[in-house]
Amino acid sequence: MSEEQPNFSRTTLLNLGGGAIVEQFDDQLSRVMANIDDLNADAKAKRTITIEVSFEPDATRQALTVKHSVKTKLAAGKKAESTIFLVRDKTGEMFAVNNNVHQPELFKG
């Protein structure tokens, strides 16, 4: 009589942690797509998704603790630049304005 082996399902990336890695990857992929679509982000910047899996065996080497994470590096927002002008009010207090009050208007309408 031969002893039958139990029908085990092999662990794969797809079923590790009940499919959590796949769900996390899908979430991060959505973030990458949104970042690519964001007009305030650099269009040509590389985006990355990193999957990290660590395995910590117990003393018997028969069981392991598996920890996993999915991290994303997105493109930063574009830098914006503007000019403001410093002026003083009648009391001498300094404040900023958007228009250059030191340059006269060429055309008054």
Average pLDDT, the chain: 90
Q: Which of 43, 65, 46 is nearest to 54 (CA)?
A: 65
pLDDT at 105: 65
| Regions of the chain short of the pLDDT cut 70 | 1-3, 104-109
pLDDT at 79: 83
In terms of DSSP H, where are the helices of 1-109? 20-37
Can you tell me the distance from the alpha carbon of 9 to that of 87, in angstroms, rounded to the nearest whole number? 74
In the chain, domain spans: 16-77
Exposed e or buried b for every residue in 7-32, given b needs 16+ CB within 10 A? Answer: eeeeeeeeeeeeeebeebeeebeeeb
pLDDT at 72: 97
pTM for this prediction = 0.67
